[in-house]
Amino acid sequence: MLKKLREKRRHKQYKKWLKNAVDIRVNALTVQYQWSTLNCDSQGVAGGKVRPLVVSLTSFGQRIHDVFLTIESLFQQSLKADKVVLWLSADEFSDEDLPAVLKKQRERGLDIHFVAEDLGPYTKFYYALERYPDALLVTVDDDILYPMDLLDQLYSAHLREPNKIHCGRAHRIAFGQDGTLLPYKQWWRHSNESESSLLIMPTGVGGVLYFPGCFDPEVTNKSAFKRLAPRADDVWLKAMSLKRGTECSVFAQRGEWMLRNPIILGSQEVSLKRRNKGAALGNDQQIAAVFNEYQLTEPLRQAVLAVDLDS
């Protein structure tokens, strides 16, 4: 009993230390990226790769005033993308009312496209697949300050295993002893170890690299994803890669993920994650709807059996 109390106290102290460390890092990076955005004239993108590397993201509402921080973290990568593309709803934004800081980043290579139909979280992949069908596509979120080696790690992983989807954060889909799919909250959460299988489901927050041909053609069926998983693009993209038979791989991490990928201050006031957890159509409902529609549960069961046999 006393040992458990000591462990609980140490865990509480560590969580407090981690929160303080993340806050310090966020503040430092925010100042750094504010300065570089205003004072740096060098290009944030660079070509020369065999296959173009396109980073795609979208934003909305009040986040439009802070998304430049995420973009600057992408501009400061050790391996620069060929393109960094920001997709915005034409109903919400126009070129005239863009924040000046984004216009300045456009001079350094940022592409900004206004789309007629706002597809929510699907905006960043749907239009990119349409416009850049032959590129390596990296999707990222608009509220993270990404580590400087994210693109290098994703691209290097692709060169090693070009027929897999690669990501920086993931869950492993899990089944109960009775063979039924466990609730999303009970799926394995990403550790620091690398892993690759059909059971790995990338989460977009960590950055995901998709290669041409990794999805079933159904991936661009707007009416289907809007009906089955309107707020769960991670679920839809996993289902469409699974339908194609494409494995996903998460690369090994160094240190605390939250410390290397801190969230922009204030960005969680409107959070898709909270909406999915609290809404009537949450993650579990959307997972069930998609997996049942395309009969994907059995292939996952077979993947579990394959893992058990290997171990």
Query: In 169-217, which residue ranges form alpha helices assigned H by DSSP?
Result: none
| Reported confidence tier of residue 208, pLDDT bands at 50, 70, 90 | very high
Which residue has better confidence, 308 or 197? 197
Taking only the tens place, the pLDDT of each residue in 239-294 is 999 999 999 999 988 888 889 999 998 777 655 443 444 444 688 999 999 999 99
Q: Is 238 helix (H, G, I), strand (E, B) or coil?
A: helix
Tell me which residue has tokens 């997709």: 87
Domains belonging to the chain, first-starting first, are 6-25+44-310 (3.90.550.10)
Query: In the chain, which residue ranges form alpha helices assigned H by DSSP?
Result: 2-39, 67-75, 100-106, 123-131, 150-160, 222-228, 233-244, 257-260, 272-278, 283-293, 297-310
- Amino acid 281: pLDDT: 61
Given a cut of 80, is residue 152 above it in pLDDT? yes
- Amino acid 266: pLDDT: 78
Which residue has better confidence, 145 or 280? 145
Given a cut of 60, is residue 169 above it in pLDDT? yes
Closest alpha carbon to 197 in 160, 236, 170: 170
Given a cut of 90, is residue 107 above it in pLDDT? yes
Degrees, nearest 5: CA angle 30-31-34 = 80
Taking only the tens place, the pLDDT of each residue in 8-57 is 567 788 888 989 999 999 999 999 999 999 999 999 999 988 889 999 99
- Amino acid 50: pLDDT: 86
